[in-house]
């Protein structure tokens, strides 16, 4: 109210603001833009001092709730000629340029974990709702994100019900494993369009396919390769851990492009990590993922060992039970056998 009243009073008093002199001193105005000082001091026309404009000034949500204070002159002068608009993409890109490689790593890994936790909670809640109504539905997140060291394992355990649907209605009809190198392109392109028809999502799906193809070829070659000796097993396990670290990095990059920076940010991402200050971050990130992959191997091995131990225990119990029943059948009932008492 004070700003509205004072600005109206100064208009009536013919407030003199030397625009030309201000432009000579102001670098913003001399570049063709209009600075806030000019918007504030320059008088607006009398028709802007209407009740409608005054009401808009009072309750303008971005500034009314918790925003910075703006004068009535500055607000009213921008209604007809607004300043340059900034899209969310421009804002994200400008912020991204000022992030360090370490910030990029934290954002990339954090986005993955945040998305996993968000969908984990949502999908489990609605699955529980379905179960209490008597409708069985598959678990969408059967495995933790941080326990997946291959793209195949990750996508089998991320939105697993959708993965089962895709396998049944798209992957198998298209030829299944016999045409896997071609099928992944069709399936992931469909997944991107199913989410939304955006270039960044298409870029995400195609990047995922580019990273998926080497994994498919390496796994196919590894299945035909027989490891011999302790040294061979050690080297094979170490190479698997290195491949797992590379896969996690590729997964993080693909999700950054698809859900944060878009395809236009790929050059910034690569240049940021290949700079002098970025190379140590890349090395440290790779070591962390390598150690994490080794821990995943240990967890997987422990789970298989516990399952095998349980199965062996059940088999032993069944054999013991079968042996006691067989002995009873062969021995008969001694209490009714006369020879037993002689």
Picking from 192, 216, 210, 207, the residue whose alpha carbon sits closest to that of residue 253 is: 207
Q: Which long-range contacts (CB under 8 A, 24 or more apart) does 119-128 make?
A: 119/159, 123/159
Q: Residue 218 and residue 292: Cα distance in Å, rounded?
A: 21
- Determine the Cα–Cα distance for residues 43 and 12; give it in Å rounded to an integer: 10
Q: Give 55-61's long-range contacts (Cβ < 8 A, gap of 24+).
A: 57/4
**Taking CA 27 as the corner, what is the angle to CA 24 and CA 30, rounded to the nearest 5 degrees?**
55
Longest dimension (CA), the chain: 135
Residue 300: strand, helix, or coil: helix
Out of 22, 98, 159, 195, pick the active-site residue. 195
Give the dihedral sign, CA 309/315/321/323.
negative
195 is catalytic: yes
Catalytic positions: 195
């Amino acid at each position: 109210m004070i700003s509205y009243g004072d600005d109206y009073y100064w208009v009536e008093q013919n407030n003199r603001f030397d625009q030309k002199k201000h432009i000579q001193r102001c670098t913003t105005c001399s570049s063709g833009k209009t600075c806030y000082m000019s918007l504030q001091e320059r008088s607006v026309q009398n028709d802007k001092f209407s009740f409608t404009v005054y009401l808009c000034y009072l309750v303008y949500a971005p500034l009314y709730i918790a925003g910075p204070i703006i004068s009535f002159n500055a607000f009213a002068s921008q209604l007809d000629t607004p300043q340059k608009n900034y899209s969310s993409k421009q804002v994200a890109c400008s912020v991204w340029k000022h992030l360090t490689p370490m910030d990029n790593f934290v954002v990339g890994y954090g986005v993955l974990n945040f998305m996993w936790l968000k969908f984990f909670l949502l999908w489990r809640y609605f699955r529980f709702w379905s179960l209490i109504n008597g409708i069985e539905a598959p678990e969408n997140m059967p495995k933790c994100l941080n326990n997946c060291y291959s793209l195949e394992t990750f996508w089998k355990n991320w939105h697993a019900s959708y993965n089962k649907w895709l396998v049944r209605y798209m992957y198998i009809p298209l030829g299944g494993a016999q045409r896997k190198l071609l099928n992944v392109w069709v399936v992931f392109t469909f997944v991107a369009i199913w989410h939304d028809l955006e270039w960044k999502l298409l870029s995400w799906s195609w990047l995922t396919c580019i990273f998926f193809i080497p994994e498919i070829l390496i796994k196919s070659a590894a299945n035909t390769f027989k490891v011999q000796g302790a040294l061979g097993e050690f080297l094979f396990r170490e190479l698997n851990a290195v491949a797992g670290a590379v896969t996690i990095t590729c997964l993080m990059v693909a999700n950054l492009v698809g859900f944060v920076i878009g395809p236009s940010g790929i050059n910034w991402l690569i240049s940021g990590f290949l700079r002098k200050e970025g190379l140590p971050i890349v090395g440290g990130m790779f070591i962390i993922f390598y150690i994490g992959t080794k821990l995943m191997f240990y967890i997987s091995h422990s789970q298989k060992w516990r399952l095998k131990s349980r199965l062996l225990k059940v088999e032993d119990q069944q054999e013991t039970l079968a042996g006691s029943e067989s002995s009873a059948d062969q021995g008969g009932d001694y209490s009714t056998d006369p020879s037993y008492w002689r």
